[in-house]
Chain A
Amino acid sequence: MRRRRRIRRLALVAAGVAAIAWWGRTTLGPDGPGAASSDAAVDARNGSAQRATGGDRGRGGARGAAGDRTAAETGDPLRDRFRDVGADERPGEQEGPTADRDPGAAVVPIALAPLRGSRADATLSLAGFDPFGPRELLAWRIANGKFAIVAHGQSDRDGNLTFPDLVAPRNGLEIVVTAIDGVPGLPGASESRFWAARDPVAPAASVVESDATAHRIRITPRESSGVVVLADDYGVELARIPVRASPIASMRDFDLTLTSNPVETHVYLAHEFEDGRASEWETVVLPGVEAVEADGAEADDFE
């Protein structure tokens, strides 16, 4: 029995060391992108290792019972998840030696719900359950093998999380929530939640000049990178024009001269990113042609 306990203790210590080593390699390794900076992250990691004591564990134990009670009352799936955690994983119910050695003490992590948001205004909200509430929390953004704080929040006595809404960046988002003295990847942190990258917005365009030989189209990209793709009525790609990056939006506009073709009624524009994401097709009706499909003939022909 005693030997089994020692093995179990060693296994937990080894797991903790492995977790820290993994994070160290991904965030702080000399070859990793995090090697240059991220002082905040480094500080947070060191601070976490030093600060994590049995204090949280004691509070957690008290909250664990409250969390169960609330979950039973509300039927919240996140709380149900916590309720389903085995007794030996619950805060305050770990066996002494293991709890004493485990710096996070909160083996039961914060439960972060899938990110909910609005594609329309590119905002998203965080929700979930903190078994140790009330306390101060941090939301972290993880990218490029590094992490940084994106918002301060808190949990209430019932474990509900309160954070300001976040702006969802174009390239997507990975979020983890921890205690104020925690960092992603260490015990007690939530699992990652993801917000998918969005597709680019199609450029705007209008025909500036037109005669028997050519059309001049002015194109206003709504994105500041990638390429604008021009295709004809038959889906044949006519041009790919890199968007000129500039902090001055008007300096990204450009004119394109298109040789007239009497058969051609429309051309189509889309915006593509380097990673393959692409906008819907924007229809440009060429002068002299009835604009019968102007509002409805965008993407289908080319997908």
Chain B
Amino acid sequence: MRLRWPVVAVSFISALLMGVDACFYPIPRIAPIPIIDDPDSRCGMLMSTDPPDLDFDPATGLAWVVDPAPSQLVPFTVETPPPVLAAAGPLAVPLSSTLRRLALLGPIGIEGVSVRDSLALLTSTGVELRDDLLRLVDLDPSSKSIVSLQVSVPAELLEPTYPDLPAPDEPAEARDEVSTTVCLDPDGLDSRGDEIGGGADCAGFFANSTSGAAVVGAGAERSLFVSMANPGGDLLSSNPRYLPGAVLVYDIDLASGIGVAPNATTPVIYTSGFNPTQVTPYHAGDRDFLLVTVSGAIGVVQDDLGTIIVEGGYSALTDAAIDVIDAETLALVATIPLGKAGLVGNLVLHPGGRLAVVGSMIDRWLLAVDLAPLADPLFPSEAPAEGPVVLDGSAESGLANAVIRDASRPYEIPARGEGGADPAVCPGLVAGLAFNHAGNLLYATDFCDGTLGMIGVADGASMTAPSLMETPRVDALTAPGDTPEAIDAPPNGLGGVAVRPGDPGVDYSGPDVFVIVGKPNGLLCAVAVESGD
């Protein structure tokens, strides 16, 4: 099959009126962005197609791409297009597991303690099911390495069991990774409503599919949270099995040799729904929280053999939500329901700190929440007896409605139209999200249409009324393919998007937005949206 090369179409699509949040605000003046081709002088080459993650290190200004084959992290300098491999070269990661996500910790800032500024958490899914791993990596070019950790299990922690960590009565061991394999035995049912069951090695099931990680807190001793999606079986079917989602809690001591140990009192927090795919630190007032992107069970639309095209896309089987964990009490205190939204684990926080947006993999949807209730004095710090507070505006909680856009009223990114994906084959998948520096634009990549959407954000600076506004959308980057004739030949989609740290045109010149083009060659492309050329 011939795959058409990625191209970029620039067209203004007329605004759609979305209703309740509508009000005028200055739309940033954005020059048309030319088509991106392959090859293209704005794009650096990547080894893998569809690399799973891209992030900037603000301390060094380098863009890091997660490259699963070969297993490594690849740094790029981005001052002038095209992005080029940084002199430090890739950081190789042992191929014992498949790399998934990179989460930079940002400046640690512990008084009196010297901690490197370019630390990041790297999650990976095991080659063997009991081989899920979490690593701490140092991305500073001068000291680039996998950081050795002192791993232990508290003596008093007998349940749950960690088969690949030192026994509770053993001293800490120096390791390059932390096993996130743990035997979980929760009450409840799987996503199909069936009993969870168990096996010889574990009364319940082994947590698997490490999907996200975050460090929360201040000072040297902090909490390390790791989300486990826990798919149970029949993956890529129309009705896969998901086991109860979980967030593993570890104590991490950043001062003394970076010790890591499961939290002795609350080693596991179960999420309100299935398939947690991301954890995000959040700070409100003087309190630290953890936001958990609960994607819900997601199935695959099966091909209708009676048609020529190969139907595809995903379907949401159970409800999605944003769970809120109090990082001090380690309690799941609230949940923001989003309905059957089929979330991608790509929640982004507005620079103002109140608006959070996450994409969907079942359609060209954005879901949004207002985090203002978390700063309300009434917001609980302990888990209510009746379960987490549901922040849907219902009277019982006494807290404001946190839902801005849910599955019943998503923000819909307009389809590309001509040149876009066949909706029956690939109906939309918001692969990447990123706010611009000023907070008045949200960039969203659509895998199916191969477009970079730019959505205006109202009152981004004041955050008095966080909302996604209707804007003329610019289809910036596209990478469409021919109408697919096989499931392995979808449109050449876009992957992640990241915005270079700093104020474009002030802190730096050159491109400000960076996107991953997945196929036919993996590319990291530099686009000057606000910074001009």
Interface size on A, residues (CB 8 A): 62
Measured between beta carbons, the chain B residues less than 8 angstroms from A121 are: 70, 72, 89-90, 92
* Residue B38 is within 8 A (CB to CB) of chain A in the complex: yes
Q: State A242–B209 Cα separation when bound (angstroms).
A: 21
Q: What separation, in Å, do the CA atoms of A150 and B300 have in the docked complex?
A: 38
How many chain B residues sit at the interface, stated as a range, is 35 or more
The answer to whether A208 and B519 touch across the interface, beta carbons within 8 angstroms, is no
Query: Residues of B with Cβ closer than 8 Å to A?
Result: 1, 5, 7-8, 34-50, 52, 67-70, 72, 74, 77, 80, 82, 84-87, 89-90, 92, 98-100, 125-129, 209, 211, 229, 231, 233-237, 277, 298, 300, 312, 314, 344-345, 361, 429, 431-432, 447, 486-490, 493-496, 516, 518-522
CB distance from B178 to the nearest CB of A (A): 19
Instruction: Decide if A244 touches B487 in the complex (CB within 8 Å).
Output: yes
Q: Is the CB of A255 within 8 A of B234?
A: yes
What secondary structure prevails in chain A residues at the interface with B? mixed
| Contact between chains at B233 and A209 (CB < 8 Å) | yes
Contacts of B129 in A (CB 8 A): 206, 208, 218
Given A152-B80, A242-B487, 5 other A-B contacts at CB below 8 A? A37-B40, A143-B38, A224-B49, A244-B236, A247-B50
**Taking the complex as formed, is A170 at the interface, i.e. its CB lies under 8 A from any CB of chain B?**
yes
* Contact of A223 with B80 in the complex, beta carbons under 8 Å: no
Bound CA span A226–B3, Å = 13
**CB <8 Å contact, A247 and B493:** yes
CB-nearest residue of chain B relative to A216? B233
A14-47 CB contacts (< 8 Å) to partner B: 33-34, 36-41
| A52 beta carbon closer than 8 Å to chain B | no
Which of A150, A222, A248 is the one whose CB lies under 8 Å from B98? A222
A169 to B1, CA, bound (A): 20
A164 interfacial contact with B, CB 8 Å: yes
Which residues of chain A are near B447, meaning CB under 8 Å? 246-247
A279 to B14 alpha-carbon distance, docked (Å): 47
Given A123-B90, A148-B40, A169-B522, decide whether A247 and B431 contact each other with a Cβ distance below 8 A: yes
A residues sitting closer than 8 Å to B (CB atoms) are 33-34, 36-41, 120-123, 141-144, 146-152, 164-171, 173, 200-201, 204-206, 208-209, 216, 218, 220, 222-227, 242-251, 253-255, 274
| Residues of B contacting A: mostly | loop
- Is B45 touching A166 in the complex (CB atoms < 8 A)? yes
Q: Which residues of B contact A120 (CB under 8 A)?
A: 70, 92
A169 in contact with B236 given A38-B40, A245-B488 (CB within 8 Å) = no
Chain B: minimal CB distance from A154 (Å): 14
Instruction: State the CA gap A248–B50 with chains docked (Å).
Output: 8
Contacts of A152 in B (CB 8 A): 80, 84
B89 touches A255 (CB 8 A): no
- 17 sampled A-B residue pairs with Cβ under 8 A: A33-B5, A36-B35, A141-B39, A141-B45, A144-B39, A148-B82, A169-B46, A170-B48, A206-B129, A223-B69, A225-B519, A242-B486, A246-B447, A247-B52, A250-B209, A251-B236, A255-B234
